[in-house]
Protein backbone atom coordinates (compact mmCIF):
# COMPACT_ATOMS: atom_id res chain seq x y z
CA UNK A 1 0.00 0.00 0.00
CA UNK A 2 1.37 3.35 -1.06
CA UNK A 3 0.71 6.82 0.34
CA UNK A 4 1.30 9.87 -1.83
CA UNK A 5 1.30 13.45 -0.65
CA UNK A 6 -0.47 15.79 -3.06
CA UNK A 7 -0.52 19.59 -2.77
CA UNK A 8 -3.16 21.86 -4.22
CA UNK A 9 -1.79 25.32 -5.02
CA UNK A 10 -3.10 28.36 -6.84
CA UNK A 11 -4.72 31.74 -6.21
CA UNK A 12 -7.53 32.29 -3.74
CA UNK A 13 -10.89 31.54 -5.35
CA UNK A 14 -9.76 29.18 -8.11
CA UNK A 15 -11.52 26.29 -6.36
CA UNK A 16 -8.78 24.42 -4.52
CA UNK A 17 -10.90 23.57 -1.50
CA UNK A 18 -13.82 22.65 -3.75
CA UNK A 19 -11.62 20.26 -5.72
CA UNK A 20 -10.44 18.65 -2.52
CA UNK A 21 -14.02 18.25 -1.26
CA UNK A 22 -15.17 16.83 -4.58
CA UNK A 23 -12.36 14.29 -4.61
CA UNK A 24 -12.43 13.25 -0.95
CA UNK A 25 -16.17 13.49 -0.20
CA UNK A 26 -17.78 13.80 -3.62
CA UNK A 27 -19.54 16.97 -2.49
CA UNK A 28 -19.77 20.52 -3.75
CA UNK A 29 -20.73 23.20 -1.25
CA UNK A 30 -21.33 26.57 -2.86
CA UNK A 31 -20.08 28.40 0.19
CA UNK A 32 -17.68 26.00 1.77
CA UNK A 33 -15.41 27.89 4.13
CA UNK A 34 -12.74 26.07 5.99
CA UNK A 35 -11.77 27.61 9.28
CA UNK A 36 -8.41 25.97 9.69
CA UNK A 37 -5.42 27.33 7.80
CA UNK A 38 -4.30 23.93 6.64
CA UNK A 39 -6.77 21.26 5.58
CA UNK A 40 -5.48 17.74 5.01
CA UNK A 41 -7.82 15.01 3.77
CA UNK A 42 -7.21 11.49 2.58
CA UNK A 43 -8.83 9.44 -0.12
CA UNK A 44 -7.71 6.86 -2.60
CA UNK A 45 -7.42 6.08 -6.28
CA UNK A 46 -7.64 2.63 -7.82
CA UNK A 47 -4.91 1.68 -10.24
CA UNK A 48 -4.37 -1.74 -11.77
CA UNK A 49 -1.64 -2.17 -9.15
CA UNK A 50 -4.16 -1.61 -6.35
CA UNK A 51 -5.43 1.11 -4.08
CA UNK A 52 -3.21 4.16 -3.81
CA UNK A 53 -3.80 6.40 -0.82
CA UNK A 54 -3.57 10.14 -1.36
CA UNK A 55 -3.09 12.68 1.37
CA UNK A 56 -4.31 15.95 -0.11
CA UNK A 57 -3.03 19.24 1.36
CA UNK A 58 -4.96 22.48 0.93
CA UNK A 59 -4.26 25.91 2.41
CA UNK A 60 -6.79 28.61 3.18
CA UNK A 61 -6.67 32.34 3.71
CA UNK A 62 -3.39 33.87 2.63
CA UNK A 63 -2.31 30.97 0.44
CA UNK A 64 1.07 32.36 -0.48
CA UNK A 65 2.06 32.90 3.12
CA UNK A 66 0.74 29.58 4.38
CA UNK A 67 2.24 27.59 1.59
CA UNK A 68 5.63 29.08 2.36
CA UNK A 69 5.69 26.82 5.41
CA UNK A 70 8.31 24.16 4.79
CA UNK A 71 5.99 21.47 6.19
CA UNK A 72 3.51 22.14 3.40
CA UNK A 73 6.00 21.28 0.68
CA UNK A 74 8.11 18.76 2.56
CA UNK A 75 7.89 15.26 1.15
CA UNK A 76 5.33 16.13 -1.52
CA UNK A 77 5.02 13.68 -4.42
CA UNK A 78 2.65 15.62 -6.62
CA UNK A 79 1.14 19.06 -7.12
CA UNK A 80 -2.06 20.27 -8.68
CA UNK A 81 -1.30 23.74 -10.01
CA UNK A 82 -4.78 25.21 -10.23
CA UNK A 83 -6.12 28.21 -12.12
CA UNK A 84 -9.70 29.25 -12.89
CA UNK A 85 -10.60 29.15 -16.59
CA UNK A 86 -12.83 32.20 -16.01
CA UNK A 87 -9.94 34.26 -14.64
CA UNK A 88 -6.99 35.16 -16.83
CA UNK A 89 -5.34 36.67 -13.76
CA UNK A 90 -5.28 33.29 -12.03
CA UNK A 91 -3.58 31.80 -15.10
CA UNK A 92 -1.01 34.61 -15.24
CA UNK A 93 -0.15 33.86 -11.61
CA UNK A 94 0.65 30.22 -12.35
CA UNK A 95 4.27 31.14 -13.09
CA UNK A 96 4.66 32.62 -9.61
CA UNK A 97 3.29 29.47 -8.01
CA UNK A 98 5.58 27.33 -10.09
CA UNK A 99 8.58 29.36 -8.98
CA UNK A 100 7.53 28.90 -5.38
CA UNK A 101 7.20 25.14 -5.85
CA UNK A 102 10.63 24.88 -7.43
CA UNK A 103 12.16 26.95 -4.66
CA UNK A 104 10.54 24.93 -1.89
CA UNK A 105 10.78 21.46 -3.46
CA UNK A 106 14.28 20.67 -4.61
CA UNK A 107 13.29 17.05 -5.25
CA UNK A 108 11.40 16.01 -8.32
CA UNK A 109 7.63 15.87 -8.15
CA UNK A 110 4.79 15.39 -10.60
CA UNK A 111 2.96 18.55 -11.60
CA UNK A 112 -0.41 18.82 -13.31
CA UNK A 113 -1.74 22.13 -14.60
CA UNK A 114 -5.45 22.24 -13.76
CA UNK A 115 -8.05 24.60 -15.23
CA UNK A 116 -11.02 24.51 -12.86
CA UNK A 117 -14.64 25.70 -13.41
CA UNK A 118 -14.99 24.19 -16.89
CA UNK A 119 -18.76 24.10 -16.27
CA UNK A 120 -18.76 27.90 -16.74
CA UNK A 121 -17.72 28.15 -20.39
CA UNK A 122 -19.71 31.37 -20.91
CA UNK A 123 -17.18 33.19 -18.79
CA UNK A 124 -14.06 31.54 -20.14
CA UNK A 125 -11.02 33.83 -20.20
CA UNK A 126 -8.22 31.31 -20.59
CA UNK A 127 -7.61 29.75 -24.00
CA UNK A 128 -7.31 25.98 -23.53
CA UNK A 129 -4.71 25.80 -26.29
CA UNK A 130 -2.52 28.33 -24.48
CA UNK A 131 -2.74 26.32 -21.26
CA UNK A 132 -1.91 23.12 -23.12
CA UNK A 133 1.18 24.69 -24.70
CA UNK A 134 2.28 26.11 -21.35
CA UNK A 135 2.08 22.68 -19.75
CA UNK A 136 3.65 20.87 -22.68
CA UNK A 137 6.70 23.13 -22.74
CA UNK A 138 7.35 22.19 -19.12
CA UNK A 139 6.55 18.52 -19.42
CA UNK A 140 3.42 18.66 -17.28
CA UNK A 141 0.09 17.09 -17.95
CA UNK A 142 -2.83 19.48 -18.06
CA UNK A 143 -6.57 19.12 -17.77
CA UNK A 144 -9.75 21.09 -17.37
CA UNK A 145 -12.12 20.04 -14.60
CA UNK A 146 -15.17 21.18 -12.66
CA UNK A 147 -15.37 20.75 -8.92
CA UNK A 148 -18.97 21.90 -9.23
CA UNK A 149 -20.22 19.27 -11.68
CA UNK A 150 -17.52 16.80 -10.77
CA UNK A 151 -16.46 16.52 -14.41
CA UNK A 152 -13.01 15.01 -14.80
CA UNK A 153 -12.07 15.38 -11.11
CA UNK A 154 -11.49 11.72 -10.32
CA UNK A 155 -9.71 11.31 -13.65
CA UNK A 156 -7.39 14.14 -12.75
CA UNK A 157 -6.37 12.59 -9.44
CA UNK A 158 -6.14 9.19 -11.06
CA UNK A 159 -3.81 10.31 -13.82
CA UNK A 160 -1.62 12.21 -11.34
CA UNK A 161 -1.48 9.07 -9.19
CA UNK A 162 -0.58 6.97 -12.21
CA UNK A 163 2.32 9.34 -12.94
CA UNK A 164 3.52 9.40 -9.31
CA UNK A 165 3.34 5.62 -9.09
CA UNK A 166 5.16 5.27 -12.37
CA UNK A 167 7.98 7.56 -11.25
CA UNK A 168 8.34 6.44 -7.65
CA UNK A 169 7.43 2.78 -7.53
CA UNK A 170 8.26 1.46 -10.94
CA UNK A 171 11.60 3.20 -11.32
Residues contributing to the site for ligand GDP (CB under 6 A): 12-18, 30, 116-117, 119-120, 146-148
Find the DSSP H helices in the chain. 16-25, 63-66, 70-73, 88-92, 94-104, 128-138, 153-168
Q: Which does 13 bind (CB under 5 to 8 A by kind): ligand GDP, Mg ion, none?
A: ligand GDP
Among 8, 10, 17, 116, binds Mg ion (CB under 5 A): 17
Do residues 114 and 80 make contact, with C-beta atoms less than 8 angstroms apart?
yes
Nearer to ligand GDP, 12 or 155 (CB): 12
What is the smallest separation between the CB atom of 86 and ligand GDP, expressed in angstroms? 8
Q: Tell me 111's DSSP state.
A: E
Residue 87 Cα to chain centre, angstroms:
17
| Position closest to ligand GDP via CB | 15
Is residue 60 within the footprint of Mg ion (CB under 5 A)? yes
Amino acid sequence: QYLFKVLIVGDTGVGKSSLMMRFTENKFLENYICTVSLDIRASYVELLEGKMMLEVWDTTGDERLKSAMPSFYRGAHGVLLVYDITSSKSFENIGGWLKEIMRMCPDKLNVVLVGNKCDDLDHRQVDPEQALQYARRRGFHSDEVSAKSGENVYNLFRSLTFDMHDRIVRH
